[in-house]
Chain A
Amino acid sequence: MCVGVPAKVLSVSEYSAEVDVMGTKMNVGTIFVPEVVIDDYVIVHAGQAMKIVDEEYALLSIEEWRKLVDARDN
């Protein structure tokens, strides 16, 4: 059961964090992302945060899609 939308980290405890997905809050485990901090976005699966979203790459993807749209077909 994968959650598609990244969840924003509101608070961090020793092995868990409270996260917000577009206004719905839940607690998740953080053993797989021990370096997580408040305001990070994480991907959640089965009650665990599995990865911190890399903002730089998120921006790069958007750039790539824009370029793809504008590229001439060859």
Chain B
Amino acid sequence: MQEIIDYPSNPELAKKLLVKLLALSERYIDKYGRRPVIMEVCGSHTMALARTGLKSILKDHVNLISGPGCPVCVTDQISIDAMIELTEGENRIICSFGDMMRVPGTKRSLMESKTAGKDIRVIYSPLDSVTIAEENPDKEVVFLGIGFETTIPILAATLKTADERNVKNFSMWVTTKLVEPILRTLLDSKKVTIDGFLLPGHVSIVLGKNSYNFLVEEYNVPGVISGFESVEMISGLYKLIEMLMIDDIHIINDHKKIVTDEGNVYAQRLMQQYLEPVDEAWRGIGVIKNSGLDIKKEYEHLNAKKRFNITVGEPRKTKCRCGEVISGLISPNECSLFAKSCHPINPIGPCMVSTEGSCAAYYQYMRED
């Protein structure tokens, strides 16, 4: 089995498939007079496409545009400021995913708060924050729960754990985003032509292939669920363009070894038990109805938004264009701040600082100068 696991990283195979993909793309360009426009939804795909060099080598053949796949990047500034405002209180421990630490806030970032002496901890597994609460009974412990559907079930599991262990000093600030509403919004807005979607390999573990059927049924846009190795991404792009060439539009599950039609029912059940749909504000787009999940009323004792009175003012205005980047309207290097006043050490917006951010991917892997 180990060989099977290692196989997709086979570079020889990837090179051969790449040749096929380039040839197919050329036939598409001949037929339609332009490159196919494919949106990679997931931030991990943006990173993988950039790091492997695929994005560069395909640039004259496939128009790959980054989408809204980074949960920190799509969170609007007011929500970010509110989460950072939580650190102002006394006797609190704020636990967060590493990605949130250097996201710029209107006042300051979590990292700057930490440097100023606040107890802020980077967590890899959200369940650890419940343990921290148990170990520090005299402090209020808040976990900043951000993420898409890969992470949301884990947030639900964390709530369940805190609830069952009756941890009174634990709460979670939930700011989550859902994939379907944003895809609908992007397609409805028609601001960007999208011929097809490279669908996220890991979110799909939870959602299942069938949850993307609306793309075909309501929008006639194909999608391929794909993994993150070069071979897998090349294969996914190939199948997308092939569908476009023969005008036979489907959702293809090209990652069957971990994605099923119905998804992970345990994860779905847990989400439904603790969370309910809410309207969420998306950076650069505005409020989208029922585009996020938040804690249900019966569990509001775990909801940091109910426990703490947090108010924030108007966010500081900057020239940051993250909102346009995540909608696929511009490429990171088209932002006037890119690599000048905005870079990973001094980010103006979240896209430059998140490990899944499009600007960060471009800065790290695709800068020429």
Contact = CB atoms under 8 A, between A and B. Distances in A.
Nearest to A62: B7
B229 interface: yes
A48 B154 contact: yes
B126 interface: yes
A6 B229 CA distance: 12
A53 interface: yes
Contact of A1 (B5, B98, B205): B98
Contacts of B98: 1
Interface string A36-74: 000101010111101101110111111011101101010
Interface stretch (B12-20, B174-182, B212-220): B12-20
A33 B267 CA distance: 9
B13 A48 contact: no
B17 A2 contact: no
B256 A54 contact: yes
Interface of A: 1-2, 4-6, 8, 29, 31-34, 39, 41, 43, 45-48, 50-51, 53-55, 57-62, 64-66, 68-69, 71, 73
B235 A64 contact: yes
Given A2-B228, A48-B154, A54-B256, A68 B20 contact: yes
Given A47-B128, A48-B125, A4 B228 contact: yes
21 contacts: A2-B202, A4-B44, A8-B2, A29-B125, A29-B127, A32-B153, A32-B157, A43-B202, A46-B126, A46-B151, A47-B154, A48-B125, A51-B258, A53-B257, A54-B258, A59-B4, A61-B254, A65-B13, A65-B231, A66-B13, A68-B20
B266 interface: yes
A2 B20 contact: no
A54 B125 CA distance: 25
